[in-house]
Amino acid sequence: MIYLILSIVLSVGLLVNFRLFPRYSINTFQAIVFNYPVCFLLGYLLMGKGETFRLDLHQPWTWYCLALGLGFILTFILSGAATQRIGMTLTSLANNISLVIPVLFSLFVFGSDSVAFGPLNYAGLVLGVVAVAIASYKADDGGAKAGFFQSGGLALAVFLLYGITNTAINYIQIHVIRNSPGAIPVMLVMVLGAVITGLAVWAYRLLQGREAFEAKNLVAALTLGVPNFLSFYFLIRALNHYGSSGAFVYPLYNMGVILVSALVSVLFFREKLSRLNRVGLGLAILAILFISWNALFV
């Protein structure tokens, strides 16, 4: 259980970083770009016995994993923007309830889900979408409705992009990767794709004069990159501890991140949640319970 708790706390730590960056005038884009080399180095150091990193460009899955690096960059940039504009709670909710998308693809497109889905599970999928819609509603300080992109649109974008990225990872695991060298080496290839993409975009913006290098962004990259990789690392350890039972671990992880994010945002950042936001939060927890009911309680 300690691995699962550490993964939850570190995942929330990512959002805390994004929330604090504007306070210290951190360039969020640069922090995200430089956090991936930190992730790569940390992952390389944490590889287990018998695991080795090798970039084999003759393997088709290598190119798929490298391409996913672009998805990593985009989702992280979007998560940072959402955290700073609509708050930790709603960003975390949209991120974690996005599990609805890979579950739907697993059931109806990939045909890979071995767990039988019943009416309660399908009700959970519907509730998940409703939860994002309700929780996304946000009013500005003057009481007027906030712009769609500032509230619902941004939360919806987080929901969709995280869901699409996780679906792509699921597809690669099912249909592409054969005889992979292990979880962390495969993850390192994905991270390397993010490193290459991020540095290329940053260099282009630097040459255009749209970026100016600042050392403090490297420090921010360190505080972001360490929890970024370790949250994944401890999630893998939790899965191994519970016999690779993703149907059991992921719901607890998702619910934990949503609830701890909400608690931290209210206690430390004084974020205010409307009644609809709170209803959406409750529905999200209920949705995850319903989706995972068979694995957790049957």
pLDDT for 291 equals 83
Q: pTM of the prediction?
A: 0.86
pLDDT for 196 equals 94
Per-residue model confidence as pLDDT tens digits over 82-98: 999 888 988 999 999 98
Assess whether pLDDT exceeds 80 at residue 149. no
Give the range among 26-35, 67-76, 181-190, 216-225 with minimum mean pLDDT: 181-190
Assess whether pLDDT exceeds 70 at residue 276. yes
- Average pLDDT of the residues of the chain: 84
pLDDT for 150 equals 52
Long-range residue pairs from 34-37, CB within 8 A, at least 24 positions apart, any chain:
34/198, 34/217, 34/218, 34/220, 34/221, 34/225, 35/76, 35/221, 35/222, 35/224, 35/225, 35/228, 36/69, 36/72, 36/73, 36/191, 36/194, 36/195, 36/198, 36/225, 37/195, 37/221, 37/225
